Amino acid sequence: MHLIVESARPGYRGVGCGRCHTGTFPLVTDTGNPSAVAPTPDHRPDWYPDPSGRYEFRYHNGTTWTADVSTDGERYVDVLGTSHTPTAPTTAPTTAPTTGPTTGPSGGNSGNGIAVAGLTCGILSIAFGWLPVVFVLGALLAVLGMVFGVMGLRRSRRSGSGRGFALAGTITSAIGLGVAVGGLLFTIAVFRALERYENPAEHAAEVTGCEVDDGTATVSGELRNDSDDTASFTVRVDVVRSGSGVRVSTTRGELIDVAPGETRSWEVTRRVTVDAVECSPPNVSGPLPFGVDPG
């Protein structure tokens, strides 16, 4: 082992230290082991620029370099250790890290929580964006996710962590914004379908037959489209026990694309447990929205 004593250099001012060594001291270089380069014993333990270049600052305990590192005021634990630390520091930082140490993997999410927040918002925006009405929440989450993603990318350039999460958050948020646009169109379609169901075209309908035969109730009738446009209708008739008014069943028939002025007949059967029934006047609505009966 060969030791070379270099010329004296200005002392380092430690991070957050009001009485640090400010004189000069020699640096001892171990030519056989570059990683052992460190300030001489008269230099107190403190924070110094990271000689490996992977982080902004690294802590020296007075004897050797440690894995306690810092970047932009955030403290980490260098999982790569100190085996490749090449040289001793030449200047010292003037501000100490403000947070406790965390594991700082290269490209991970440590120290870049805003990148994780962006990815979370992006995933939720896709989950909610397609739902009618709720698409508004999906759109807001998508915008937040894109903002957080961009901020996370900027922070990752300084800290070296969280880039993958930030990039994924930006991409998923952009997808979520597109899904929210689809959710808007879907919402419009749903409201239009409900409006057609609740407000059918002008018509005239009547029940022409209501009888029971061997436990099967048969309800028949006619409907005329009095509007100027082709329209579809849903016809409901309540089947009640004769003399009591107690409903025993409800029939439903669908008349599709009835032309203007056209009269169309319909007939529906239901199983019942009574021998005599009566039928209520028909209740007519528009076409079922997306084939789903709102009830």
Task: Report pLDDT for 89.
Answer: 52
Q: What is the CA radius of gyration of the chain?
A: 39
pTM over 0.85: no
How far, in Å, CA of 39 to CA of 23, rounded?
A: 13
CATH class of 203-287: mainly beta
In this predicted model, what pLDDT tens digit does every residue of 4-38 receive, in sequence order? 333 333 333 344 433 333 333 333 334 444 444 44
Task: Report pLDDT for 9.
Answer: 37
Contact between 267 and 294 (Cβ < 8 Å): no
> Among 142, 198, 189, 199, which residue's Cα sits nearest to residue 170?
142
Residue type, 146: M
Task: Report pLDDT for 43.
Answer: 58
Cβ count within 10 A of residue 250: 15
Any idea what DSSP says for residue 14?
A: P
Contact between 141 and 128 (Cβ < 8 Å): yes
Looking from the CA of 22 toward its CB, the CA atoms found within 13 Å total 5
Q: For the chain, which ranges sit under pLDDT 50?
A: 1-42, 86-87, 94, 99-110
> Among 23, 22, 28, 21, which residue's Cα sits nearest to residue 7?
28
Q: Determine the Cα angle at 122 with ends 119 and 127, to 5°.
A: 130
Continuous segment of H or E residues that includes residue 156 = helix 135-159
Strand partners, 20: none
Secondary structure in 3-state letters for 89-155: CCCCCCCCCCCCCEECCCCCCCCCHHHHHHHHHHHHHHHHHCCCCCHHHHHHHHHHHHHHHHHHHHH
- Kindly list the domain boundaries of the chain, sorted by start residue: 3-103, 113-198, 203-287
How far, in Å, CA of 167 to CA of 183, rounded?
A: 24
